Structure 1
Amino acid sequence: MSQVLTPSPTPISDVPELSAPTGFWGVLRRPFTLDLRALALLRMAVAAVVLVDLAIRSTDLEAHYANLGVLPLPVLFEHAWMQYGFSLHTASGLWQGQAVLFLLAAGVAGALLLGYHTRLATVFSWVLLVSLQNRNTLISQGGDDLLRMLLFWGMFLPWGRVWSWDTRHKPEPARLDYFSAATVAYIVQLCLLYWCTALLKTGPEWTETGTALYYAFSLDQLLLPGGRLLYPYPEVLRGLTFATYYTELLLPFALFLPVGVRWWRLLVIGVLFGFHLGISLTLYVGLFFLINMASVLGLLPPMALDWLTGRLASHAVRLRTWLQPRLPAWQLPWQLRLERTRPPAASRRRLGRAVRETFVAAVLAYVCWWNLDDVAVLRPAGGVMAEPVRWFGYLLRVDQHWGMFAPAVFKDDGWYILEATTAGGQKVDLNRAGAPLTYAKPAAVVSLFKNDRWRKYSENYLFVNNAWMRPYYCNYLLRIWKENPQHAPLKHLSVVYMKEVSLPDYKVAKPTREVLCDCE
């Protein structure tokens, strides 16, 4: 690759018309102008997160995506199907069919990481991610919405213009700075995430008493060692609660300031990196923190990228020198059909750009409208978005909700016991690999979950309106237990939830036993 981490002496843009803006218009668009190198880093980070997500999900191919799992296709369509949605993953109820789609998604994400046919790789990655998320919405969280939106806006960003396989034989662009409706959409999307997260937190724990993090760290299903260290200090938790709330509410405004843009962006990136690192050390939120960290890389200013490329350029040259003689000289037979043999006419470029900018601006307006409707404190009584208008959001999956710990922190905590009775009358707990049954609270409740997808599933499993999930989960547990010939035969299984309500002032509630499901 001729452009891998090579420092460029001048800012660039892949659109010649985007010369350095002056006057009022130039000042207005300054906060929304991004460096192409930052967009390339954003592309690589998003692709890497998609690969990590696929790797984690692939450990539950049968459980979460096949008919033998917890959500068979007929049950999905009856209870959890999103109207106007689409999913290639519903074409087969076999785990082998899911495995093929997972491998395809991994290959496309790998192409996106390398910047190989970047635009097509972005489109297919988005399609396959939406398809995967639609197959089982019961294990989704807010980070999935953000990852989906990053790929959506990425389809309209030139994040393969530098540091990509596509540009290995192309000249460097004339400028590194780039502005379009898509850069505006990307920045506004990040701001909407944090603004709505804050505005949805209307409970007094966030705005008055400052006890939100106390209650969050009281949730043993989420608590990690870092949170356990902070938990005994109420004043520290109170300060961190207000810091969290006002960071989410006020920090995004810094991205709209037209002066000192690079310094404001470094501040935003630094604060958000520290913010999400802190979350990852204290609360079990899966890939949420990693997705959010990746999402801000597109904001990196030129001076940070100059520093980065200056230190990595020599390593890149050595890597290229070692790699080039070892790369195959042949091309894939379909490669020539995917690549343009000559650039389009100027009139077609202008028309294509106008259509693209108009479409992106319209979708951004729709996304802002959706979020406005989602935040009760901003919308009129009864809402401003009629239900028939929502089909567009569900079809393109630009629907989103940023209600983490909102409006208040969930206070019904507890742990699961999979209480089984063997044919010989012995009581065992399948949640602890068949160990003798005990109702004592585990030392680390969070360790009972295989991954965050299962934690989210168990969270949805508790809600009364999701009671239909319970028999399918119970039967799945029985089946996988019976498939192991070393396991003792079972004659009964109860899914038990030991409910422990979080109380104020470090008071401890007595757990209550709730049987959620029985099966033979």
Structure 2
Amino acid sequence: MDEAPAGFWGVLRRPFVLDLRALALLRMATAAVLLVDLAIRSTDLEAHYANLGVLPVSALMERAWTPYQFSLHAATGLWQLEALLFLVAAVVAGALLLGYHTRLATVASWVLLVSLQNRNTLIGQGGDDLLRMLLFWGIFLPWGRVWSRDARHQPAPARLSYFSAATVAYVVQLALLYWCTALLKNGTEWTRDGTALYYAFSLDQLLLPGGRLLYPYPGLLRVLTFGAYFTELLLPFALFIPVGVRWWRLLVVGVLFFFHLTISVTLFVGLFFLINWASVLGLLPPVALDWLERRLGPVLGRLGPRVQRWRYWLPAWQAPWRLRLERTAPPTEQDQYLARRARDLFVALVLTYICLWNLHDVALLRPARGIFPDRLRWFGYLLRVDQHWGMFAPTVFKDDGWYIFEGTTASGSVLDLNRAGVPVNYAKPAAVVSLFKNDRWRKYSENYLFVDNAWMRPYYCNYLLRIWHENPAHPPLRHLSVVYMKEVSLPGYQVAKPVREVLCDCELPAQPAPPVSLRN
């Protein structure tokens, strides 16, 4: 651990010196979000990750896979084995939360998260990229040095400030997130007209009660639009100011916490706001952590250092002999120095790669396309450091609407499977967002609309029919149509007439059976 020295280089390093206690909070928050994410995803084990769901392994390999990806979840199409992988991931995330074998738990959590995200990319969102990157950089950060189970077996650190290539990467990653988000929003709705939030709140698939309250005030929405845009564009510069670092950090953390709080109560974005909240905890300065430690001293004290000897004994009943495991040859200072330099070099190379990736993405400079050729993208896909921060960019979607799953029974009744089998009603629901079980389904439905993703539709129809007929109380169907009531968002609070679009038709035999003919 290094504290920024005086002098020119010391001043340059100040923005990248982090507190070990802040890194511990970052670790615990990241692990907590992992557990929440696993809990939400586990409610759709079969639907999203098994061969009986909307994306069988064969379709994944054919349509949504690159040869550089890996996924333990794609090794099986059974939901029971998926459940086992989920359980392992939860145990590992729990170890990361407690700081137990922290480095190993971080690597294992990263591998399992990448495997899970690669298994179904059709339900991913921008927050998933950030969560993945937090774990990746966490591999190289000492975020288990304090406030962890591991810390009980180590002496207290000589100082709490820490600087390395990984702290630089973490700070730069956060800045890239918001800079690229702003630079990709190059439509006039963001940069000139100030109507982006009006159109965002016109999307009934996303609108929450908080957004509904703000929606009738165009002047306020215009102010909030420019406020959001310039917050993302300008606030990250505060992370690199070497004077008054603690106060700039408090400003950044406070503004971003409030920024994502407003997003969470106005728009249905799943775990996006929680992941962003977790991501900024590593920026907390010592003044905030001292305050926190004074109030949570008894709790955090249980995770304080308790020096123990590096030896463990296996109980006699585990084997007919006693076996002692101990560290016989601690690494020399030179070994530690070389390992540190190799780690920092690797982190610097990956960070450079990511900066070029993002520069190419926003296309700020023409040479960026030549600097980052496509033949280098395999590395990003392999380590899943690929990223895209185009939230509501370059403009906000105008195509809105809601789904109706028209199921026709043998008696000729037409039911809406999307609303528990009630008779079909083409009127807009009072809350369109309530039709989605969670944000993963909302994202899947959004991708389902694109013409390039038309191949998804038969699988979805097949899944809907199967789960409907699994319930003996449901009447057998002879026909299913997945209908999208398209309602384009218009300026000036004008209301467009919904247009009925049939995305998928399925014809079934007279008797209930798995579908035999699917056509788009």
> Structure 2 length normalisation: TM-score?
0.93
Structure 1 residue 475: Cα displacement: 0.5
The alpha-carbon distance between structure 1 residues 227 and 293, as it changes in their structure 2 partners (threshold 3 A), is same
Report what 1:206 is aligned to.
Answer: 190
1:470 equivalent in alignment to 2:457:
yes
Q: Distance in 1 between matches of 2:274 and 2:314?
A: 35
The alpha-carbon distance between structure 1 residues 338 and 297, as it changes in their structure 2 partners (threshold 3 A), is farther
1:59 equivalent in alignment to 2:46:
no
Contact 2:201 2:215 in 1 (8 A): yes
Q: Distance in 1 between matches of 2:475 and 2:298?
A: 61
The equivalent position to 2:330 in structure 1, one of 343, 349, 352, is 343
Q: Which runs of 4+ in 1 moved over 6 A?
A: 329-334, 336-339
Q: Distance in 2 between matches of 1:338 and 1:415?
A: 62
Q: Distance in 2 between matches of 1:391 and 1:124?
A: 22
Report what 1:183 is aligned to.
Answer: 167
Q: Secondary structure at the match of 1:415?
A: strand
Structure 1 residue 339: Cα displacement: 8.4
Q: Distance in 2 between matches of 1:174 and 1:443?
A: 59
1:234 equivalent in alignment to 2:221:
no
The alpha-carbon distance between structure 1 residues 386 and 174, as it changes in their structure 2 partners (threshold 3 A), is same
Structure 1 residue 314: Cα displacement: 3.3
1:299 equivalent in alignment to 2:283:
yes
Q: Distance in 2 between matches of 1:71 and 1:397?
A: 21
Structure 1 residue 341: Cα displacement: 5.8
Structure 1 residue 330: Cα displacement: 8.9
> Structure 1 length normalisation: TM-score?
0.93
Structure 2 gap ranges (5+): 305-311, 508-520
What per-residue deviation string (whole Å, max 9, x for no partner) do you get for residues 171-221 of structure 1?
100000000000000000000000000000010000000000000000000
Structure 2 letter corresponding to 1:305: L
Aligned positions of 1:2-401 closer than 5 A: 15=1, 18-316=2-300, 343-380=330-367, 384-401=371-388
Q: Secondary structure at the match of 2:243?
A: coil
Structure 2 letter corresponding to 1:241: T
1:459 equivalent in alignment to 2:459:
no
Structure 1 residue 83: Cα displacement: 3.2
Q: Distance in 2 between matches of 1:59 and 1:190?
A: 31
Q: Distance in 2 between matches of 1:341 and 1:285?
A: 51
Q: Percent of pairs identical after alignment? A: 78
Structure 1 residue 149: Cα displacement: 0.3
1:505 equivalent in alignment to 2:492:
yes
Q: Distance in 2 between matches of 1:84 and 1:243?
A: 40
Q: Distance in 2 between matches of 1:341 and 1:61?
A: 46
Structure 1 residue 331: Cα displacement: 7.7
The alpha-carbon distance between structure 1 residues 414 and 19, as it changes in their structure 2 partners (threshold 3 A), is closer
Structure 1 gap ranges (5+): 1-14, 322-328
Q: Secondary structure at the match of 2:15?
A: helix
Structure 1 residue 316: Cα displacement: 4.5
Structure 1 residue 387: Cα displacement: 1.0
Q: Secondary structure at the match of 2:153?
A: coil
Count of aligned residue pairs for this structure pair:
495
Deviation larger for 28-37 or 385-394? 385-394
Structure 2 letter corresponding to 1:477: L
Q: Distance in 2 between matches of 1:436 and 1:283?
A: 29
Larger RCO (CA within 8 A; separation ≥ 6): 1
Q: Distance in 2 between matches of 1:349 and 1:315?
A: 33
The alpha-carbon distance between structure 1 residues 432 and 213, as it changes in their structure 2 partners (threshold 3 A), is same
What is the Cα-based RMSD across aligned positions, in Å?
1.9
Structure 1 letter corresponding to 2:6: T
Deviation larger for 437-446 or 306-315? 306-315
Q: Secondary structure at the match of 1:505?
A: helix
Contact 1:82 1:134 in 2 (8 A): no
Structure 1 residue 169: Cα displacement: 2.7
Structure 1 residue 385: Cα displacement: 1.6
Report what 2:469 is aligned to.
Answer: 482
The alpha-carbon distance between structure 1 residues 457 and 20, as it changes in their structure 2 partners (threshold 3 A), is closer
The alpha-carbon distance between structure 1 residues 20 and 213, as it changes in their structure 2 partners (threshold 3 A), is closer
Structure 1 residue 380: Cα displacement: 3.8
Structure 1 residue 31: Cα displacement: 0.4
Q: Distance in 2 between matches of 1:242 and 1:92?
A: 47
Contact 2:127 2:272 in 1 (8 A): yes
Contact 1:372 1:379 in 2 (8 A): no
Q: Distance in 2 between matches of 1:220 and 1:171?
A: 55
